[in-house]
């Protein structure tokens, strides 16, 4: 199953039909994806499932219906075990951005971290999950697929946000601060912390 966030609401792509009833179910093959996205943005739909019988074909079928933007991002730790966050558009987020021509996705992720936060001396230590969300640019809806990497940095200077990207501040947050930041973040960012086994609940 895939979880695609539209306006921070979940759109589940699945090859199984659940017995739950508190959502709407659509056939991925025949759905007008733009109409569905508009309804979610208008709050007419809170939660929806898109069904396709073949799990291997689910993402391919979705990608055929909506333009895709590929991005890379980093969940970056320093020597103290703090995580690098950025604050933009009133929410806490992690540094990420789109690929440039001819770039490997790992290069994208490291370049974007450095550009958005000024933090260098990066090394990738683990590949994390991909996250999916729909955004609107120039009047068109697009699917952003972000490839996330766990990174470590020996950087000891002061991070600074990339102003032209609207980043208001950059901070290293400890587990207690992360817990607080995630209450004002995006659903796909929360997913990464679930996967990365940072036990922020018990800290």
Q: How many whole angstroms separate alpha carbon 52 and alpha carbon 62? A: 10
SS3 21: coil
- CB–CB of 74/113 below 8 Å? yes
Sequence ranges of the domains in the chain:
2-63, 68-195
pLDDT in tens, the chain (203 residues): 899 999 999 999 999 987 766 788 999 999 999 999 999 999 999 989 999 999 999 999 999 999 999 999 999 999 999 999 999 999 999 999 999 999 999 999 999 999 999 999 999 999 999 999 999 999 999 999 999 999 999 999 999 999 999 999 999 999 999 999 999 999 999 999 986 554 443 33
Q: Comparing C-alpha atoms, which of 173, 193, 186, 196 is closest to residue 88? A: 186
What does CATH list as the number for 68-195? 3.90.79.10
pTM score:
0.91
């Amino acid at each position: 199953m895939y979880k695609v966030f539209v306006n921070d609401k979940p759109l589940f792509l699945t090859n199984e039909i659940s017995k739950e009833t508190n959502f709407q179910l659509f056939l991925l093959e025949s759905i007008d994806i733009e109409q569905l996205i508009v309804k979610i943005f208008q709050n007419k739909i809170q939660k929806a499932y898109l069904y396709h019988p073949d799990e291997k074909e689910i993402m391919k079928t979705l990608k055929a219906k909506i333009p895709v933007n590929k991005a890379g991002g980093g969940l970056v730790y320093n020597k103290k075990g703090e995580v690098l966050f950025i604050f933009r558009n009133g929410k806490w987020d992690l540094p990420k951005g789109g690929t440039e021509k001819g770039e490997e996705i790992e290069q994208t992720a490291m370049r974007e971290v450095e550009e958005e936060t000024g933090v260098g001396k990066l090394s990738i230590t683990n590949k994390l999950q991909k996250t999916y969300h729909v955004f609107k640019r120039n009047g068109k809806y697009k699917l952003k697929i972000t490839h996330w990497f766990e990174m470590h940095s020996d950087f000891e200077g002061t991070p600074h946000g990339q102003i032209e990207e609207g980043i208001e501040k950059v901070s290293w947050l400890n587990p207690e601060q992360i817990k607080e930041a995630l209450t004002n973040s995006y659903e796909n960012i929360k997913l990464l912390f679930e996967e990365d086994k940072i036990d922020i609940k018990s800290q």
